[in-house]
């Protein structure tokens, strides 16, 4: 389990950190994003509508059925997550001397 926390349905599988490999995290995630400078009211409306859908029990059940975990975030939380991911993987790319093309 490469996430920070154990996932629903896989509670018996320890995370790598729990297994003694600290500092490692790799997750797959998907996000709905829009163009830069979207009008804040439109961002709020889309976020509200998508959050409402992702919180529906039937949607949660279907998403979990394909071994994914729905995550509802505010636009600000998403921006912070994107920044954290960029910093984390930017360091990996630099340390591994992976050329950016």
**Hey, CA dihedral for 80, 19, 28, 86, is it positive or negative?**
positive
State pLDDT tens for residues 61-75: 999 898 888 999 999
State pLDDT tens for residues 13-51: 999 999 999 888 888 899 999 999 999 999 999 999 999
pLDDT at 59: 97
Average pLDDT over residues 67-85: 93
Report the C-alpha gap between 26 and 44 in whole angstroms: 29
Residues 9-27: b if buried by 16+ CB within 10 A, e if exposed:
eeeeeebbbeeeeeeeeee
| The overall pTM is greater than 0.85 | no
Q: Is residue 63 within 8 Å of 53, Cβ to Cβ?
A: no
Going from N- to C-terminal start, the domains of the chain cover 1-30, 40-95
pLDDT at 9 over 90: no
Report the C-alpha gap between 87 and 92 in whole angstroms: 9
Question: How big is the CA angle at 9 (ends 4 and 13), to the nearest 5 degrees?
Answer: 55
Q: Supply 85's token pair.
A: 């991911």
């Amino acid at each position: 389990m490469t996430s920070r926390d154990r996932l629903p349905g896989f509670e018996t599988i320890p995370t790598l950190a729990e297994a003694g490999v600290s500092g490692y995290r790799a997750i797959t995630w998907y996000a709905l994003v829009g163009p830069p400078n979207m009008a804040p009211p439109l961002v709020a409306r889309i976020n509200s509508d998508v959050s409402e859908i992702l919180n529906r029990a039937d949607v949660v059940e279907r998403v979990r059925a394909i071994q994914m975990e729905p995550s509802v975030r505010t636009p600000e939380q998403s921006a912070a997550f994107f920044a954290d991911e960029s910093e984390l993987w930017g360091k990996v790319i630099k340390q591994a001397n992976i050329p950016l093309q």
